[in-house]
Amino acid sequence: MKYMYLIFCLLISTLFTINAQEIVSPNKKIKVIVSQKEFNEKPYGQVYFKILYKNKLEYIEVMPNSPMGIYREDQQFTNNLKFVGESKMQEINQKYEMISGKRKLCANLGTEKVFKYVNSNNKPINIAFRVYNDGVAFRYEFTEKTDSLINITDESTTYVFPPATNRWLQTYTESYEDFFPFSDTGKSDKDKQEWGFPALFKINNNPVWVLISEANISKNNCAAKLNNATNPNEYKVSYASPRDNFKQTGVKTNLPWRSQWHTLIIGQLSDIVESTLITDVSEPNTLTETNWIKPGAVSWIYWAYNHGSKDYQKVVAYTDLAVEMNWPYLLIDWEWDAMSNGGNITDAANYAKSKGIKPVIWYNSGTSWLEPTPVDRLLTAEKRAEEFAWLNKIGIYGIKVDFFAGDQQDMMKYCIAILKDAAKYKLMVNFHGTTVPRGWARTYPNLMTTEAVYGAEWYNNKPVLTSKAAVHNTTLPFTRNVIGSMDYTPVTFSNSQHPHITSYAHELALSVVFESGFQHFADRPEAYINLSAEPKEFLKNVPVTWDNTKLLDGFPGDKIIIARKKAKQWYLGGLNGKDELQTLKINFDFLDVGNFKLKLIKDGLDDKSFGVEVIKVKKGDILNIQCLPRGGFVAVLEKLSTMKN
């Protein structure tokens, strides 16, 4: 038996040869090894990639050999590839500015290499890799030119993880409105082992995290999801499934063609939260004029009444709330086309403008859930032109478009067409009931925010958020909100259909912890107007877009402390995700030299009261804050001026 085993090992070694190339990040911490396994010395085989991360002095294997490849209806590019060449290593070094998001000044800094292959029919395919200091991106490229449409149907791309890897994954749903529960098995209680992006992994007992998503989707792409039905530790990329009235699988396109960028943000938890990799790899801003794009806080009518905006008097009340709270925008939600009780949509827009408030209005995309009106005003370029011209005429500044039908190619085309056409009429956009962010906020900066989250709106629909909110809120900053603005509709103190059990300070902190270019504050006017002076003043002034973001402490589902900078001030938000008292510790090492005044608003004696402190701190100080169960805090840091002798 021993000799048979040795013969078997020898046979295997002759069947496979490995052709390996390395790409390393600029800071040398991340290394990608691309290899090809060839069967029995034949030149055709499967391409694999492996990822290593340097922790202190040694490299840790983050992802073992993981298969690559893509299928077309006419032929495959999977286990039948032959290596024919590679590009020179190229430095990617591009600085750009974001209008909204976690960081204003960003750097697309990485190392790129393109590997060239042909399949057994001698048809070419390239695989382009970029390795960044905080992650890896790769895409497939078909370089030949065709006049006829080619159907690209699926991928064999699979992310392989070591056993016992911890993970926080959302079961795939087209609305991306679900939770990210912890698992160390990768198994789902649903029929399908399908998962949506982004997907968070912690590699065994190592201090290395990976967040998988995708970016730079164009009209020639569909969105993808993950499936680990074959092996719980192997996550295969799958394209959007056909739907009833759209039978297409995958993408139909002329060649040449590029896939979306497959992205893996890699590093410590702070690297994950602070990363801008999704916009780094996306196409630059396509708009020549952007000074009309202004992120801001919004008063929103729907949440408190679980209904639309057909009552003119309620629209007036929320306009007055925006004035009271110094919020620049008012969102008039569904049913505005049936507005009565004293005025119509034009009257409402005129009232808002008379008070210095900019109105935004809601649309049904006309592709999915068709009951809420107005429906079918945006489906074609001609209809959009007519509607957007009318919006300009009555003084509307943005649109919220809801109820898209899924992740198929036609929905990607539709979203991009809306963004382009809205920009022609200087309209900002909020997408709801749609796919997660995939880099469009850089390419089309009039995209202010996207829902694709199980947000506070769900207090209206089911009781489940009541008990899960604290854990969920302390998971989202490490998952969904990493990849782009998130329209959670936070900071609600009163109850809608189902109650809160998060503290008032926890709710207040969501205004900092959650990033969104349009931050919709959804509660009743009296809930904000009757706040005590300090939290009310905080909500009047808290920014919605940031110059810089830093994770100070945290763990998914447990706690988070995040610091965001705007001009010369730092805003801090902290959340306790536990159902018990927890002390959150702020380490002020992130500060510059000098003394700072910290104004702290934290949990009071009970979950519906606040405590306020003003403290002097400096770099290197540590402050312990005791939080109630499901509690939290906010703080504002301002540097104290120094007097010269």
Of the candidates 608, 629, 582, the residue with the CA atom closest to the CA atom of residue 469: 629
How do residues 380-420 score in pLDDT, each as one tens digit? 999 999 999 999 999 999 999 999 999 999 999 999 999 99
The confidence score (pLDDT) of residue 19 equals: 72
For residue 5, name the pLDDT band (cuts at 50, 70, 90).
very low
Q: What integer pLDDT is reported at residue 56 of this predicted model?
A: 86
Cα–Cα distance, 207 to 193 (Å, whole number): 27
pLDDT at residue 187 in the model: 87
Burial of 7 (0-12, 13-18, 19+ CB in 10 A): exposed
Is residue 12 predicted with pLDDT exceeding 60? no
Does 43 sit behind a cis peptide bond, omega within 30 degrees of 0 on the bond before it?
no
User: Max Cα separation, the chain?
Assistant: 92
pLDDT at residue 4, rounded to an integer: 37
Task: Please write the tens of the pLDDT for every residue from 461-490.
Answer: 999 999 999 999 999 999 999 999 999 999
Please, which residues bridge with residue 17 across strands? 38
- Alpha-carbon gap, residue 449 to 471, rounded angstroms: 23
> Which tokens hold the place of 333?
């939600």
What gap in Å lies between CA 57 and CA 491, rounded to an integer? 44
Residue type, 604: G
Flag whether pLDDT at 13 surpasses 70.
Answer: no
Hey, is 406 helix, strand or coil? coil
Single out the residue of 585, 575, 624 nearest to residue 475, CA to CA.
575
pLDDT score, position 41: 63
The pair of three-digit structure tokens given for residue 117, joined into one six-digit string = 């292959």
- CA–CA gap between residue 576 and residue 602 (Å, rounded): 11
pLDDT in tens, 92-111: 999 999 999 999 999 999 99
Q: Is 494 exposed, middle or buried (0-12, 13-18, 19+ CB in 10 A)?
A: middle
Render pLDDT for 594-636 as a digit per residue (tens, 0 to 9): 999 999 999 999 999 999 999 999 999 999 999 999 999 999 9
Q: Say how many C-beta atoms besides its own lie within 10 A of residue 178's C-beta.
A: 16
Q: Give the type of residue at 3.
A: Y
Q: Is 388 helix (H, G, I), strand (E, B) or coil?
A: helix
Q: What single-letter DSSP state applies at residue 465?
A: H
Q: Name the helix (H) or strand (E) containing 272.
A: helix 269-274
Q: Is the peptide bond before 67 cis (omega within 30 degrees of 0)?
A: no
pLDDT in tens, 250-288: 999 999 999 999 999 999 999 999 999 999 999 999 999
**Residue 40: predicted pLDDT:** 62
CATH 2.60.40.1180 fits 554-639, yes or no: yes
CA distance 623 to 417: 49
pLDDT higher than threshold 90 for residue 39: no
Compute the Cα dihedral for 239, 244, 246, 249 and give only its sign: positive
> Residue 8 above 80 pLDDT?
no
pLDDT tens figures, 525-569: 999 999 999 999 999 999 999 999 999 999 999 999 999 999 999
- Give the distance from CA 238 to its chain's centroid: 19
Q: How far apart are CA 586 and CA 575, in angstroms?
A: 12
Place of tokens 């004293």: 342
Query: Beta-carbon neighbour count of residue 559 at 10 Å?
Result: 21
Q: CA-CA distance, 166 to 182, in Å (whole number)?
A: 7
SS3 content of the chain, % helix, strand, coil (to 5): 20, 40, 40
Please tell me the CATH code under which domain 2-280 is placed: 2.70.98.10
The backbone region for 104, taken as left when phi is positive above 0, alpha when psi lies in -120 to 50, beta otherwise, is alpha
Percentage, residues of the chain above pLDDT 90: 91
For 97-148, how does the pLDDT look when each residue is reduced to its tens digit (9 = 90+)?
999 999 999 999 999 999 999 999 999 999 999 999 999 999 999 999 999 9
> Burial of 622 by CB count in 10 Å (0-12 exposed, 13-18 middle, 19+ buried)?
exposed
Segment holding 420, helix H or strand E: helix 409-424
pLDDT for the residue numbered 205: 84
Closest-CA residue to 195 (of 243, 232, 166)? 232
Residue 342, pLDDT score: 97
Strand order in the sheet with 329-332: 447-450, 428-431, 398-402, 358-364, 329-332, 296-300, 518-521
Nearest CA among 279, 259, 34 for reference residue 134: 279
User: How far is CA 213 from its chain centroid?
Assistant: 9
| Cα–Cα dist 381/378, whole Å | 7
Residues 161-170 as b/e (b if ≥16 CB within 10 A, e otherwise) read: beeebbbbbb
Closest-CA residue to 401 (of 416, 386, 389): 416
With a cut of 70, say whether residue 645 has pLDDT above it.
no
Instruction: Write the DSSP symbol of residue 478.
Output: G
Which residue type sits at 24? Answer: V
Dihedral of alpha carbons 11, 117, 223, 481, sign: positive
DSSP 57-83: TEEEEEEEEEE--EEESS-EESS-EEE
Q: Which are the contacts of 391, defined by CB distance < 8 A and separation ≥ 6? A: 361, 399, 425, 427
**Architecture of domain 296-542 in this structure:** Alpha-Beta Barrel (3.20)
pLDDT in tens, 165-217: 999 999 999 999 999 999 999 988 777 899 999 999 999 888 999 999 999 99
Beta bridge partners of 118: 82, 124
Q: Are 431 and 412 in contact (CB under 8 A)?
A: no
What residues contact residue 176 under an 8 Å CB cut-off, 6+ apart?
Answer: 170, 196, 435, 436, 451, 452, 453, 480
Distance CA 52, CA 33 (A): 8
The C-alpha atoms of residue 299 and residue 29 are separated, in whole angstroms, by: 44
* pLDDT at residue 15, as a whole number: 42
- Classify residue 533 as exposed, middle or buried by CB count within 10 Å of its CB (0-12, 13-18, 19+): exposed
Retrieve residue 613's tokens: 């402190």
- The answer to whether residues 83 and 115 touch, using CB atoms and an 8 Å cutoff, is yes
**Tokens found for residue 514:** 């959650």
Q: Are strands 569-576 and 559-566 parallel, antiparallel or unpaired?
A: antiparallel
Mean per-residue pLDDT for 217-236?
Answer: 97
Q: How many Cβ atoms from other residues are within 10 Å of residue 346's Cβ?
A: 13
**In the chain, where are the structural domains located?**
2-280, 296-542, 554-639
